[in-house]
């Protein structure tokens, strides 16, 4: 019986793969007629946009063409233009989880909306996502984030900044987030969460894990080997600011 189920699962998986492959071809044909620069992207990128729209070729094409237009306008962000954001050292990148996905560690308590320029913050988000994606090894497509809210307060609640960051990640980097661990979450954060939640799409919501303080180390070690976990969480790696990361 187990063998029959295994064969059935394999056939189902093969069927899904073939359907995806066919739809990626349809998506490529559609977007290349509307923007010739689409020829420069690989099938894996097109597949991510397709999956983000539940394999709907028309919706995926609109999403992808919007991405191309945005990327042409945005370009790739230089550290020169985000010095204020980098100086706050609120994002680090070090280690990989057990699936090989790079790990980013964010400290929202270091983000103060009264001292930020929104355009610079958006560029910082793009810079950070580009660097995380560039560090993803062959055979993997996603990264993991540990968002440490220790010390977070209302001075750090930046609704415009949070929504902008969510929009950039969800609209232009689909299927790149593997999981985000929200840790050391203070009680006052839940007020902010109610405001932010409606802006989080279904796919992203499914990747968010709230971790209780008492089970923090065990939860993280289940996903990340000790020699890849930051020292501050009981691991062996030092935290390295994202701009100094060698990835």
pLDDT of 74: 87
The structure's pTM equals 0.90
Q: Sheet with 91-96: list strands edge to edge.
A: 91-96, 102-106, 143-148, 177-183, 208-210
Residue ranges per structural domain of the chain = 2-74, 81-244
Bridge partner residues of 120 (DSSP): none
What is the chain's mean pLDDT, rounded?
92
Within 8 A by CB and 6+ apart from 244, the residues are none
Query: DSSP states of 70-126 as a string?
Result: HHHHH----GGGGHHHHHT--EEEEEE-TTS-EEEEE-GGG--GGG--HHHHHHHHH
pLDDT of 41: 95
Query: DSSP states of 186-213 as a string?
Result: -TTHHHHHHHHGGGS-HHHHTTEEE--G
- The list of the chain residues with pLDDT below 70 reads 1-13, 247
CATH number at 81-244: 3.40.525.10
| CA distance linking residue 114 with residue 158, whole number of Å | 9
What is the topology classification, in CATH, of domain 2-74?
Helicase, Ruva Protein; domain 3 (1.10.8)
Q: Which helix (DSSP H) or strand (DSSP E) does residue 185 occupy?
A: none
Query: What are 93-125's pLDDT values in tens digits?
Result: 989 999 999 999 999 999 988 889 999 999 999
Which of 118, 208, 131 lies closest to 173, judged by CA? 131
pLDDT of 3: 45
Which of 102, 85, 45 lies closest to 247, judged by CA? 102
Query: What are 160-176's pLDDT values in tens digits?
Result: 999 999 999 999 999 99
């Amino acid at each position: 019986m187990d063998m029959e189920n295994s064969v059935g699962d394999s056939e189902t998986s093969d069927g899904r793969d073939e359907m995806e492959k066919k739809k990626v071809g349809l998506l490529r044909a559609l977007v290349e007629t509307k923007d010739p620069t689409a020829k420069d992207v690989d099938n894996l990128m097109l597949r991510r946009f397709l999956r983000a729209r539940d394999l709907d070729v028309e919706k995926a094409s609109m999403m992808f063409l919007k991405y191309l237009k945005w990327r042409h306008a945005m370009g790739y962000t230089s550290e020169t233009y985000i010095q204020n954001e980098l100086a706050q050292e609120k994002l680090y990148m070090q280690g990989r989880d057990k699936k090989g996905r790079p790990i980013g560690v964010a400290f929202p308590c270091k983000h103060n909306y009264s001292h930020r320029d929104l355009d610079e913050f958006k560029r910082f988000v793009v810079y950070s996502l580009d660097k995380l994606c560039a560090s993803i090894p062959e055979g993997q497509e996603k990264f993991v984030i540990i968002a440490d809210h220790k010390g977070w307060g209302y001075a750090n609640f930046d609704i415009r900044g949070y929504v902008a960051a969510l929009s950039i990640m969800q609209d232009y980097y689909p299927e790149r987030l593997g999981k985000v661990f929200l840790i050391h979450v203070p009680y006052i954060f839940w007020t902010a969460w109610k405001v932010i939640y409606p802006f989080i799409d279904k796919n992203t919501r499914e990747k968010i894990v709230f971790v209780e303080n008492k089970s923090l180390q065990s939860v993280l070690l289940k996903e990340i080997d000790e020699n890849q976990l930051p020292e501050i969480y009981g691991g062996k790696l030092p935290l390295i600011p994202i701009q100094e990361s060698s990835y």
